[in-house]
Structure 1
Amino acid sequence: MKRLDRAISKGIKKETHPKAVVKCYPTYVQDLPEGNETGKYLALDIGESVSNFRVLMINFTTEGCDMLSEIYPIAQPLLNRPGVELFDYVAQCLADFVHKYHTGKEKLELGLSFSFPVNQTALNEGVLVKWTKGFNCAGVVGRDVVTMLREAVDRQQKVNIKIVALLNDSTGCLVSCAYKHQDCKIGVIIDSGFNACYVEKSDNVTTFSNVNNKPFVIVNTEWGAFGEDGRLDFLLTEFDWALGTTTGGWNLPNFERMVAGTYLGELVRVIMKKLTRERLILNGTGSKQLFTTGIITTEDVITVVTSAKGNLSICRKFLYERLGLPHATTEDCIDFNYICTLVAMRSAHLVSAGVACLVNRTSFNPITVGLDGSLYMNHPLYHDWIQAKVPALLKSPRELKLVLSQYGRGRGAAFLSAVCAKELVREKKTTNSGSIGERKTLSQRP
């Protein structure tokens, strides 16, 4: 935790940021929903999945908010086509959605949730640092993704949309959670990737130009890269190192690869393979399937652990049919279940250490942590592990809540659009009246 804390401090300082592994990009988000937003707002969520993206419309009423959403597929070839083609396709789907669900012709504000490393230069400007999650569209890295989307929407000539905010998945998670839990100051995504953001004092983030003179700003940590400089080597096992060879050596072992759902299934397989060859399980006899990269998915790990306690039928069926191991004994089934549990538990405990580190960096009390992502949502024990571990890692007791922020990344983008619209109205009123009215910031919640 001390190493992560130092890495974050290095990322938010202007003089050390260029060499920081944990980049800690300021998001320019300095205001959160207050629960009294009104109107209709759009959100576009790109990056949750390599195979699709989501478009949402949030309608705020006096009774809360209603949500409409559609999921649109991304054809595999499009992942490697020029970025202009990807954004044109997204803009076309966005126009279809608007015409399907919105008959009015007034301008709609849109928040873009873009779940890739982006260096933001304003609330609605951000340059793509690198593609991840299987995307590799040429001509996008180094460019402002908001401008590229805006140009694609303009080429449609069918819709009247203004892109007012850019945010990543963890920021969307925090903003969405804050709509109902206004003491939410941390957002964490535990999915195919792993990231977190938190509310930091603006004065501490010297990479951020606080032109609005507000006391706090949300920082997107991009902490998945933590450890690529060797700072996590003391925690790595031989199985973590082996994972680099089986997954094509995408990068060095890091925080994300020890936690995220993309890697847990393969980590279980690597462990099973090693123990089999050492004749510690399966009587030393493996199979072609067991030695095949990617045969075990994180969904498989969750399914095995989800099976009723003491009921090994799911484990046995998986070993027999999927891994071609009909000679697996009851003890082998127990061992397989145990390996799946340990791999997931380590992931949850590492998440807990990261969350505790962020809580310790703040002084908010009470404080809520919003969490989202398939691994957190679907694993039956994951929440309980984090809930038990985080308090034990805090420097001092806090009134702490862990809250599921379902659909957080998409809803958060729409919520932030509503916040931006409300702030614009406030600014106009302030300008017209010549006085400064009351305004709630990240530190002032009812």
Structure 2
Amino acid sequence: MPPQTGKEDVFVTPAEHGDPLEVLPPQLQKERQRLEKLFTVDTEMLKKITKRFGEELEEGLQKQGQNIPMNITWVTSLPTGQETGTYLALDLGGTNLRVCRITLKGGDAEVEQEKYSLPSSIKTGTSDGLFDFIADSLQNFVKDHSSDSQEDGELLPLGFTFSYPATQDRIDHGLLQTWTKGWDVDDVEGKDVAALLRSAIEKRKIPVKLVALMNDTTGALIASRYKDPETIIGAIFGTGCNAAYIEKCRNIPKLKSYDQNISKTGTGNKDDIMAINCEYGAFDNSHKVLPRTPYDEAIDNESPRPGEQSFEKMSAGLYLGEIFRQAVVDMWRRGVLFHSEPGRVDQDGKDRKNIEEPYTIDTEFLSQIENDESEELADSKRLFEATVGLPNGENQLKPLSPDGQELLFLRNLAQLIAVRGARLCACGVSALCQRQGVTTGHVAADGSVAIKHPHFRRRWEAAVAEILDSEVGKIQLTSAEDGSGIGAAVIVALNMAK
């Protein structure tokens, strides 16, 4: 395979029209070259990152408290595809709470669900505020989706998908290690989130029984194995990034510290298995190998948890738009962008936000810019004007309205950031493939970036092939079969069958 640079995906128009980026003015050309150098991750760097990834994965299996925690899940069996029954599932993600009623039908599933938007105050509020919100939502769902077949006094089994790193001593228990995805709820870290939820449920006398706690990546892995036996890894490429896989118990030295639970779960034989929730968003917190830019460093420094989740802050959906915004603001302040005369301050843009305000641009914004096929990028221009503005006097904003050359330049920047994100996301999974010695299989992915970005899969599969020196498509990205819902139900079914 020829050496790659990671630049092959940079936007150009059809050959007969030439490369529009070549006609950019000298100052923008210079910035384009600077940004390409900053954001390009070539094959050599991908392999270097993946090698270090493998080392940190092994460290996490050796003992507790490592950078990548490699959390024990107590999911010790794989689905046959014949599991049946009706179960409830709670999914606490980065932006929404989802409550589901899942009916497993032996390889298929019927899903009823409601989605509840999480107020921003919840994410940085109190423990009581968070778990009261979850329990109230669950209570409303159970009331609205009651079943005639449910007998009086019958407790519906519940699986709780908690998409944050937790240390589990058993399947229905989990101590929160640290908040991620920008969350910082008071008085939850170090506490058993299953017990906190159980207390809120009991206070309301909701007719459910919490049976299992799991991470969304573990759910994605198990849900996809329920239908697709070629699934080797479950992954999340969305607000955050993570993966789960099946490890042989004999390769997990730290399991020795769980002697009591091993005897109860029957995981003492050399060929027994354990699902591992990697929680690798914290990869390279020591900054030994990741090629961080000044914009990555700024995001880290300004985050609620500086120095944590370094890999996630460079590759996950929560941060890609902010990386773009940081770069744009830097170039505007240096006089590189937006030289046009100040525009009028209009009153119809009440939802428009100051470009200087963090997280005013999201990953969907970048996707829309990159995929704009309108003439002269008119759709992108309207998107900028409607979404963000530049300060123009006290407490006033003018629409941010890039000219034609700036739009081309900004689309190139959006693509550079998206390509880098996809290529970095390939490293963790590639390290797991190398660890397992697998060269083919399906990686079942959930999350907004994997599902909604039209180019992510192609870029990710190409990067995996570069790292593993294989053909593109040997390791395929597939859509996770609702890991936070169906996966939770299947894990509950597997646990109740023991």
Give the alignment's TM-score, normalised by structure 1: 0.85
- Cα distance between partner residues in 2 of 1:271 and 1:241: 12
- Cα distance between partner residues in 2 of 1:43 and 1:285: 54
2:371 counterpart of 1:306: yes
Cα distance change, pair 329–195 in 1 and its aligned pair in 2 (3 A): same
| Structure 1 contact 45–53 (Cα < 8 Å) conserved | yes
The structural deviation recorded for 1:282 is: 3.6
More deviation, 267-276/69-78: 69-78
Corresponding residue for 2:76? 30
- Cα distance between partner residues in 2 of 1:289 and 1:353: 35
Corresponding residue for 1:138? 186
Corresponding residue for 1:197? 244
**For 1:274-307, what per-residue CA distance to the aligned partner results, in whole angstroms no more than 9, with x for missing partners?**
3344454444989994434333222211111232
The structural deviation recorded for 1:360 is: 0.9
Corresponding residue for 2:360? 295
Structure 1, unaligned runs of 5 or more = 425-446
Q: Which amino acid aligns with 2:203?
A: R
2:53 counterpart of 1:4: yes
Cα distance change, pair 216–311 in 1 and its aligned pair in 2 (3 A): farther
2:105 counterpart of 1:61: yes
- Cα distance between partner residues in 2 of 1:382 and 1:286: 37
More deviation, 254-263/53-62: 53-62
- Cα distance between partner residues in 2 of 1:176 and 1:272: 40
Corresponding residue for 1:239? 295
Corresponding residue for 2:273? 216
The structural deviation recorded for 1:76 is: 4.3
Cα distance change, pair 279–48 in 1 and its aligned pair in 2 (3 A): closer
Corresponding residue for 1:442? none
Corresponding residue for 2:23? none
2:224 counterpart of 1:177: yes
| Structure 1 contact 117–222 (Cα < 8 Å) conserved | yes
- Cα distance between partner residues in 1 of 2:224 and 2:336: 46
Corresponding residue for 1:251? 307
Corresponding residue for 2:395? none
Pick aligned residue for 2:330 from 274, 277, 287: 274
Corresponding residue for 2:494? 419
Q: Which amino acid aligns with 2:224?
A: C
More deviation, 364-373/218-227: 364-373
Q: Which amino acid aligns with 2:368?
A: T
**RMSD (Å), alpha carbons:** 2.6
- Cα distance between partner residues in 2 of 1:96 and 1:421: 26
The structural deviation recorded for 1:410 is: 2.6
Corresponding residue for 1:390? 464
Counterpart secondary structure, 1:251: coil
The structural deviation recorded for 1:364 is: 4.1
| Structure 1 contact 21–225 (Cα < 8 Å) conserved | yes
Corresponding residue for 2:436? 362
- Cα distance between partner residues in 2 of 1:153 and 1:332: 54
Corresponding residue for 2:10? none
Counterpart secondary structure, 1:122: coil
The structural deviation recorded for 1:3 is: 0.7
The structural deviation recorded for 1:227 is: 1.8
Corresponding residue for 1:345? 419
The structural deviation recorded for 1:47 is: 2.6
- Cα distance between partner residues in 2 of 1:364 and 1:111: 30
Corresponding residue for 2:446? 372
| Structure 1 contact 12–205 (Cα < 8 Å) conserved | yes
- Cα distance between partner residues in 1 of 2:485 and 2:359: 29
Instruction: Give runs of aligned pairs for residues 69-88 of structure 1, distance below 5 A.
Output: 69-88=113-132
The structural deviation recorded for 1:240 is: 1.5
| Structure 1 contact 276–284 (Cα < 8 Å) conserved | no
Counterpart secondary structure, 1:231: coil
Counterpart secondary structure, 1:312: helix
The structural deviation recorded for 1:342 is: 0.6
The structural deviation recorded for 1:132 is: 3.0
| Structure 1 contact 241–253 (Cα < 8 Å) conserved | no
- Cα distance between partner residues in 1 of 2:365 and 2:383: 9
Structure 2, unaligned runs of 5 or more = 1-49, 344-352, 390-397
**For 1:238-296, what per-residue CA distance to the aligned partner results, in whole angstroms no more than 9, with x for missing partners?**
22223234546643571001001111111112222333444544449899944343332
- Cα distance between partner residues in 1 of 2:245 and 2:51: 17
- Cα distance between partner residues in 1 of 2:134 and 2:191: 17
- Cα distance between partner residues in 1 of 2:252 and 2:329: 46
Cα distance change, pair 336–285 in 1 and its aligned pair in 2 (3 A): farther
- Cα distance between partner residues in 1 of 2:183 and 2:294: 29
| Structure 2 contact 166–174 (Cα < 8 Å) conserved | yes
Q: Which amino acid aligns with 1:265?
A: G
**For 1:302-332, what per-residue CA distance to the aligned partner results, in whole angstroms no more than 9, with x for missing partners?**
1112322765112222344434466632111
Corresponding residue for 2:142? 98
Q: How many residues align?
A: 416
More deviation, 167-176/66-75: 66-75
Pick aligned residue for 1:165 from 184, 209, 212: 212
- Cα distance between partner residues in 2 of 1:386 and 1:228: 23
- Cα distance between partner residues in 1 of 2:172 and 2:74: 9
| Structure 1 contact 91–152 (Cα < 8 Å) conserved | yes
The structural deviation recorded for 1:346 is: 0.2
| Structure 2 contact 107–226 (Cα < 8 Å) conserved | no
Q: Which amino acid aligns with 1:143?
A: K
| Structure 1 contact 40–59 (Cα < 8 Å) conserved | yes
Corresponding residue for 2:26? none
More deviation, 64-73/92-101: 92-101
Counterpart secondary structure, 2:227: coil
- Cα distance between partner residues in 2 of 1:75 and 1:68: 23
| Structure 2 contact 430–464 (Cα < 8 Å) conserved | yes
The structural deviation recorded for 1:162 is: 2.3
| Structure 1 contact 11–21 (Cα < 8 Å) conserved | yes
- Cα distance between partner residues in 1 of 2:183 and 2:491: 26
Counterpart secondary structure, 2:405: helix
